[in-house]
């Protein structure tokens, strides 16, 4: 089975998610700059979610680059990931419109956590049908980032009810950790293309 259509469908859904979030930025009826101030939290949460969807697209892109075979199981693991990502516009709007209060901030972290787990499941499903010695498995390696993120999300969800700013700092920190493109896979792919000489 070809992976082209899986990529195309995922790209479509991610492109719509990233663009639909901007619809929450509603043009105010007044025409002065001051009228934009209430939109600032909505805008900030939009930036955070834009970066997260960008990270997911980026890593998804890299992961499928290293995949050769797609099974029915992979298709559903992928849809499961897209489901959690599709909730980004909702939690982004709720968090932004309520100026980063506790409950919306915690729910935002909950969706981040579920998306991270869904990504992990997708990764494990792809590795399962490629074998432990495959490029992808070697590229992922110990997957420190992938294991650290859910723990940071859980910490942030807990912090949201104590001191909400800590949760926001943690979400931003995880985004920054991932902003560095996943060089591991690029490196292993490059090795395959030009095998190291002895």
Q: Which of 9, 128, 129, 184 binds its own copies (CB under 8 A)?
A: 9
For residue 155, the minimal CB distance to its own copies (Å) is 19
The encoded tokens of residue 70 equal 């797609």
Tell me the CB-side half-sphere exposure of residue 148, using CA atoms within 13 A. Answer: 12
Answer yes or no: are the C-beta atoms of 7 and 62 closer than 8 Å.
Answer: no
Residues in 143-172 that interact with its own copies by CB under 8 A: none
Q: Which of 69, 147, 183, 187 binds its own copies (CB under 8 A)?
A: 183
Angstrom distance (rounded) from CA 52 to CA 58: 10
Compute φ and ψ for 100, nearest 5 degrees: 55, 40
Instruction: Report if residue 2 touches its own copies, rule: CB under 8 A.
Output: yes
Which of these segments, 9-17, 114-122, 136-144, 151-159, binds its own copies (CB under 8 A)?
9-17
Q: What contacts 130, CB < 8 A, 6 or more positions away?
A: 67, 68, 69, 136, 137
Q: Which residues contact its own copies by CB under 8 A?
A: 1-2, 5, 7-9, 11-20, 22-25, 27-33, 35-36, 47, 50, 54, 57-58, 61, 65, 71-73, 75-76, 79, 82-83, 86-87, 89-90, 93-94, 97-98, 101-104, 107, 179, 181-183, 186, 189
């Amino acid at each position: 089975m070809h992976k082209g259509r899986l990529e195309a469908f995922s790209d479509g859904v991610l492109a719509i998610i990233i663009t639909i979030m901007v619809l929450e930025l509603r043009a105010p009826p007044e025409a002065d700059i001051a009228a934009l101030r209430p939109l600032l939290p909505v805008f900030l949460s939009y930036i955070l979610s834009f970066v997260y969807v960008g990270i997911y697209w980026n890593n998804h892109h890299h992961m499928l680059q290293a995949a050769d075979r797609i099974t029915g199981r992979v298709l559903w693991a992928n849809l499961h990931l897209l489901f959690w990502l599709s909730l980004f516009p909702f939690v982004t709007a709720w968090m932004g419109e309520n100026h980063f209060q506790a409950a919306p901030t915690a729910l935002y972290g909950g969706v981040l956590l579920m998306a991270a787990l869904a990504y992990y499941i997708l990764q494990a499903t792809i590795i399962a049908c490629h074998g432990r010695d495959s490029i992808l498995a070697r590229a992922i390696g110990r997957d420190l980032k992938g294991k650290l993120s859910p723990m940071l999300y859980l910490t942030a969800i807990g912090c949201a009810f104590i001191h909400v700013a800590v949760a926001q700092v943690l979400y931003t920190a995880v985004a920054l950790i991932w902003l560095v493109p996943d060089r591991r896979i690029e490196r292993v792919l490059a090795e395959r293309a030009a095998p190291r000489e002895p």
